[in-house]
Amino acid sequence: MTDDLQANYQGVYENRIGFGKRPALLLVDFVQAYFEKSCDLYAGVEDALASAVRVRDAARAAGVPVVYTNVVYHKSALNGGRFYQKAKPLRHFVEGSPLGAWPAGLDVGADELVVSKQYPSAFFGTSLASTLTTWGIDTLVITGLTTSGCVRASCVDACSHGFIPIVVREACGDRHAAPHEANLFDMNAKYADVVSEREALDYLTAQRGRNDRE
């Protein structure tokens, strides 16, 4: 087998699913901890947030449902489980912590859904899959933090639940380029279509008025 990564995967893992007809947008864990320089979770992902907000604004304008996730634990971490035991920085997400709040620049609309979770995937232990199914959604446009953690877990579960995962490259971020790029590559190879912000914006803009036409 060739040592060149692209050549190794070529012809094996390069299929694209394509966009579906009824999308929703998911913003995974854009919370203050990743933007607070004094916090050990700080990741320098301001550009990813800016991209996600542009995608979110396009979804709003097109009438596409928007869903946000955050991580919230009981004050005594009673519901933290093995994830909380393993990942020590999760202590910043106990109920009431300012590091679990939305960062500056991210406004959550009163008519937009917030899914609070305790584990990496937006689907695990939540009603998200049932909610999206009830809405008639077939495509989940995914943005968020971090690429190698909760974004990847949510992407894999979206695929497993039968939704088309569309991961927006510029609107995802991680604390280091290596896991960020590796996980984007792997998601694109096996579970999702990884697209540019421009592709996502064009797709969402094309949804304007579609519900009225169908």
Give the closest residue to 161 by CA, choosing from 60, 44, 24.
24
- What string of H, E and C letters represents the secondary structure of the chain? CCCCHHHHHCCCCCCCCCCCCCEEEEEECCCHHHCCCCCCCCCCCHHHHHHHHHHHHHHHHHCCCEEEEEECECCCCCCCHHHHHHCHHHHHHECCCHHHCCCCCCCCCCCCEEEEECCCCCCCCCCHHHHHHHHCCCEEEEEEECHHHHHHHHHHHHHHCCCEEEEEEEEEECCCHHHHHHHHHHHHHHCCEEECHHHHHHHHHCCCCHHHHC
Active site residue 150: yes
Choose the catalytic residue: 150, 155, 159, 172: 150
Q: Catalogue the active-site residues.
A: 150
